[in-house]
Amino acid sequence: MARIQIELPEQFLFSTDIPIYITHINKAQHLDNAALIALLSEARVRFFRSFGYDELDVEGVGIVVADAALQYKSEAFHGETLVFSMAPADYNKYGFDLMWTVADKASGREVARGKMGILFFDYAAKRAALIPPAFKAKIGATEAA
């Protein structure tokens, strides 16, 4: 079976620390895959907030996660603090891929990596929306859309 391979950017625009609580641990005593997705959601919210945005209001439009891919690299355990690093990439006219990596803060051991397809969305009209130019300017986007 072919495995997902995620290529990471050289630099990340944003990082945040999130501790692993006992509720994030599964019966095998490591970070549960569903808990990782929930922690990634928290990190994504923090990414947008770091630029002054709410996920329902990014220059007047919201966002949705259109797709996601992840690749596990190692286990993570209760009591560790994870560093979630994120960077936008691969822009199109309606969104971008939010690339991410997760590492144990103490050791630097990579836990997982992946990407989320971020789609700008007009919730009132129930349809995709163009990337707001002010958002691209604020995050320093240089790729053509």
pLDDT tens digit sequence for 7-50? 999 999 999 999 999 999 999 999 999 999 999 999 999 999 99
The answer for residues whose C-beta is within 8 angstroms of residue 12's C-beta and 6 or more apart is 85, 86, 87, 99, 101
Terminus-to-terminus CA distance in the chain, angstroms? 34
What proportion of the chain, given as a percentage, has pLDDT over 70? 97
Query: How distant, in Å, are the alpha carbons of 97, 98, 100 from that of 68?
Result: 9, 9, 11
* 143/97: higher pLDDT: 97
Q: What is the pLDDT of residue 142?
A: 59
Q: What is the pLDDT of residue 36?
A: 97
Whether this model's pTM surpasses 0.75:
yes
